[in-house]
Structure 1
């Protein structure tokens, strides 16, 4: 069974690409998540403030992009991002960025 996940692409007010994920990210939807990340180029803000669950499949999708992303996450995900090492590779933050529709 596929876990619900909504992915919305857009841009911040400064023009930086923004990908907002809402729901759960796991092996059932990691391919869609990977495709959404691959569909952007350059710097990217990855907004995970609406993500309640992120497993190793989701983490493995983020790692190849870690050098170009700024992760915005809710406090629930902070331990996972810290233990995985993503905190050291990207710039995690705890607040939501301003969103402009694409």
Structure 2
């Protein structure tokens, strides 16, 4: 059963805008995510919290790549393989994916 996409905008205590995403991101709702990312933060830096995302397909990745220059991702270890294989972790900051002490897509010295 598909988990519906839910988007909630908020701010961190320091004023940084956050878009919390819950559910599944696929071709049926990637346009909704794209529109929300376009509206959020007026084009400035934005934290996209994917820690409650259960599924992310190529349509969702395409949207995230399109906004990679201005977003920071928060993701669960569940998404780590997708972020690593796709290379998204190489073009934007990713927090929270390292369940085993790894870097979550970023190479450590």
TM-score, normalised with respect to structure 2: 0.82
| Corresponding position: 1:17 with 2:8 | no
The residue number in structure 1 matching 2:88 is 86
User: Which runs of 5 or more structure 1 residues have no equivalent in the other structure?
Assistant: 96-102
Q: Distance in 1 between matches of 2:61 and 2:12?
A: 23
Match of 1:98 in 2: none
TM-aligned CA deviation for residue 68 of structure 1 = 1.2
Q: Secondary structure at the match of 1:49?
A: strand
Give the C-alpha shift of residue 3 in structure 1. 5.3
SS class of match (2:69): helix
TM-score (norm 1): 0.87
CA RMSD of aligned residues (A): 1.4
Deviation at 1:10, TM superposition (A): 1.1
- Where relative contact order (Cα < 8 A, 6+ residues apart) is larger, the structure is 1
- How far off is 1:64 after superposition? 1.4
Cα shift readout 1:55-75 (whole Å, capped 9, x = no counterpart) = 000000011111111100000
Aligned residues: 94
2:70 to 50, 68, 71: 68
Residue 8 of structure 2 corresponds to 8
1:73/1:93 contact within 8 Å kept: yes
Task: Kindly name which structure, 1 or 2, has the bigger radius of gyration based on alpha carbons.
Answer: 2
